């Protein structure tokens, strides 16, 4: 279904505001100037045991002017959408750039990017979730909550729905004028079981990914996720988890499902291949990166089977855009090829600074009041064209563990030493699943882990998962990002018993 940017956004005086801001910046001698006008609407609904606990519906509207003047950045933002306000902001941005020019030893220069003229882009969705009545969305959550609570082993159910519609107008002195609209949605259900005698409890959450889709994803009208099937199995999985034996720590072969592996990709590859981290410019919030720039083209990231891409174009990806917040068109490129680090995620300044040619479109601001910073693309492990099924991977393991769903995790500031848990862990004995295990975490260094990847599933095992809440920057910004991957086999990975590690 072909969609258009909402009339209520395009009816705003976008072009006159762009003309006023850019002309003022030009008159004051800016080498680069851009204007962003944004309207971001978000809704969060949360039910506890079928009763509505939280209903938040917010909107953030405003504009930002960013300039490069005399080799320095300047930035100003406000909420009043008038020519006078944007012209004043442009003047303020230039004044700030003049002040900062004497304080910085690095001259800001941007990589070249073609001018695209007047372009429009809308993400792929059918039903705008904000066109659906709240009572219908709440009713959908309540109905599925009631279905879970009907099972004796389920004591509590948390249900939530997060939806965002992001509208953005961008114009710069080079001649790019883009108008875009993105919709994303993320439903989630968590069931809790409690052992009455001991008070011990555990949870089981849906593995449904947040997606760049509309309300059709929740209703199942697009055929992407079978909510009824997964929710029917959650009480069974949870009951088995409650009685499962605790894992014996040691080394095991792991078959990791994409519902778990996406998060390991996010933390150990996605963040590690952001060039600002690798260069030390992003150190205060979640650290830098072990994947230093002088290792580009030589760092052995993993096994020969490892092919990881950065992508701003994949349909329904949470980080998919037409044009980024520097007017750069969305692209796809290699980060790791045949196990070797071959690329980074770039914005225009980082690309020019290190002589890497064109930016790959990774500049993004999460609101009109924030400066665009280098943010993560959809970073994905590619399946093997001739790769087998998840069952095939399990069938080749004598003594191992099958890992499903993400849960808690920890990784160091260099994105190197980590451990991850999951929703469900199954013992593998002689190529067959042999029941669930409890208290499991897998631990490794990034290069050892990816170096142990011995088999990669085929396209039929591939799933695009992701998160709404990737944090970065100071002041902090949040971005949504997807990570696709197939099932994969990793050999001799260290398994911890989390209960023992906690001293219990």
Structure confidence by residue, pLDDT tens digits, 338-393: 999 999 999 999 999 999 999 999 999 999 999 999 999 999 999 999 999 999 99
Q: What integer pLDDT is reported at residue 254 of this predicted model?
A: 98
CA proximity to 495, closest of 438, 413, 453? 438
Structure confidence by residue, pLDDT tens digits, 90-101: 999 999 999 998
Q: What is the mean pLDDT of residues 42-65?
A: 97
State the first-to-last Cα distance of the chain, in angstroms, to the nearest integer.
Answer: 55
Mean pLDDT rounded to a whole number for the chain: 96
Domain ranges of the chain: 7-243, 250-501
**Count of residues making up the chain:** 504
| 254 Cβ contact partners less than 8 Å away, ≥ 6 residues apart | 400, 401, 402, 403, 442, 489, 490, 493
Q: What integer pLDDT is reported at residue 147 of this predicted model?
A: 98
Q: What integer pLDDT is reported at residue 282 of this predicted model?
A: 87
Q: What integer pLDDT is reported at residue 502 of this predicted model?
A: 83
DSSP 23: H
Cis preceding-peptide flag for 475 (omega within 30 of 0)? yes
DSSP 317: -
CA proximity to 271, closest of 304, 382, 367, 263? 263
On the question of pLDDT at 2 being above 90, the answer is: no
Structure confidence by residue, pLDDT tens digits, 397-441: 999 999 999 999 999 999 999 999 999 999 999 999 999 999 999
Assign 287 a pLDDT band (cuts: 50, 70, 90).
confident
- Do the beta carbons of residue 161 and residue 57 sit within 8 Å? no
CA 209 to chain centre: 11
DSSP string, 246-277: BPPPEEEEEEE-HHHHHHHHIIIIITTTBHHH
Structure confidence by residue, pLDDT tens digits, 213-262: 999 999 999 999 999 999 999 999 999 999 999 999 999 999 999 999 99
DSSP string, 163-230: EEEEEEEEEETTS-EEEEEEEEEEEEEEEEEE-TTT--EEEEE--PPPBS--THHHHTTTSS--HHHH
- Do the beta carbons of residue 437 and residue 245 sit within 8 Å? yes
Q: What is the mean pLDDT of residues 299-324?
A: 98
Q: What integer pLDDT is reported at residue 285 of this predicted model?
A: 79
Q: What is the mean pLDDT of residues 156-185?
A: 98
Q: What integer pLDDT is reported at residue 64 of this predicted model?
A: 98
Q: What integer pLDDT is reported at residue 117 of this predicted model?
A: 97
Q: What is the mean pLDDT of residues 477-484?
A: 97
DSSP 244: P
Q: What percent of the chain has pLDDT over 90?
A: 95
On the question of pLDDT at 1 being above 70, the answer is: no
Two tokens at 127? 């039903």
Structure confidence by residue, pLDDT tens digits, 146-155: 999 999 999 9
Class of domain 7-243: alpha beta
On the question of pLDDT at 504 being above 80, the answer is: no
């Amino acid at each position: 279904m072909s969609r258009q940017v909402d009339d209520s956004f395009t009816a705003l005086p976008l072009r006159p505001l762009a003309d006023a801001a850019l002309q003022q910046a030009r008159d004051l001698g800016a080498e680069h100037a851009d204007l962003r006008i944004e309207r971001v609407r978000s809704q969060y609904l949360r039910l506890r045991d079928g009763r509505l606990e939280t209903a938040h519906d917010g909107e953030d509207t405003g504009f930002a002017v960013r300039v490069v003047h005399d080799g320095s950045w300047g930035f100003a933002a406000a909420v009043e959408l008038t020519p006078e306000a944007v012209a004043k902001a442009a003047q303020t941005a230039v004044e700030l750039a003049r002040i900062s020019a004497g304080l910085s030893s690095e001259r800001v220069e941007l990589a070249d990017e073609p001018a695209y003229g007047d372009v429009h882009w809308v993400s792929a969705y059918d039903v705008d979730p904000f066109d659906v009545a709240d009572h219908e969305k709440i009713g959908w959550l309540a109905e599925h909550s009631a279905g879970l609570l009907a099972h004796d082993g389920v004591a509590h159910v948390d249900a939530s729905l997060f939806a965002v519609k992001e509208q953005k107008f961008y114009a710069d002195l080079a001649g790019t004028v883009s108008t875009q609209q993105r919709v994303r949605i993320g439903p989630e259900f968590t069931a809790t079981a409690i052992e009455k005698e001991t008070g011990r409890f555990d949870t089981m959450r849906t593995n449904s990914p947040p997606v760049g889709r509309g309300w059709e994803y929740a209703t199942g009208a697009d055929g992407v996720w079978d909510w009824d099937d997964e929710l029917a199995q959650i009480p069974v999985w949870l009951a088995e988890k409650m009685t499962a034996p605790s894992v014996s720590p040691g080394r095991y072969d792991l078959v990791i499902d994409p519902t778990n592996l996406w998060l390991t990709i996010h933390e150990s590859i996605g963040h590690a291949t952001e060039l600002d981290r690798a260069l030390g410019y992003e150190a205060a919030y979640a650290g830098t990166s072990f994947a230093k720039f002088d290792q580009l083209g030589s760092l052995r990231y993993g096994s020969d089977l490892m092919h990881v891409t950065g992508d701003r174009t994949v349909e329904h990806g949470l980080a998919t855009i037409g044009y980024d917040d520097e007017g750069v068109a969305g692209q796809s490129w290699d980060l790791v090829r045949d196990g070797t680090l071959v690329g980074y995620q770039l914005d225009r300044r980082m690309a020019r600074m290190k002589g890497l040619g064109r930016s790959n479109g990774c500049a993004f601001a999460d609101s009109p009041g924030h400066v665009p910073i280098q943010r993560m693309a959809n970073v994905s492990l590619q399946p093997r064209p001739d790769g087998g099924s998840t069952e095939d991977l399990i069938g080749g393991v004598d003594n191992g563990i099958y890992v499903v769903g993400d849960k808690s995790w920890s990784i160091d500031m260099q994105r190197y030493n980590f451990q991850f848990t999951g929703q469900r862990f199954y013992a593998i004995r002689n190529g067959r699943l042999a029941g669930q295990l409890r208290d499991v975490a897998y631990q490794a260094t990034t290069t050892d882990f990816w170096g142990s990847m011995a088999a990669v599933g085929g396209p039929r095992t591939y799933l695009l998962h992701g998160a709404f809440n990737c944090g970065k920057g100071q002041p902090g910004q949040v971005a949504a990002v997807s990570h696709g991957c197939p099932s994969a086999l990793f050999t001799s990975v260290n398994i911890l018993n989390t209960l023992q590690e906690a001293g219990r």
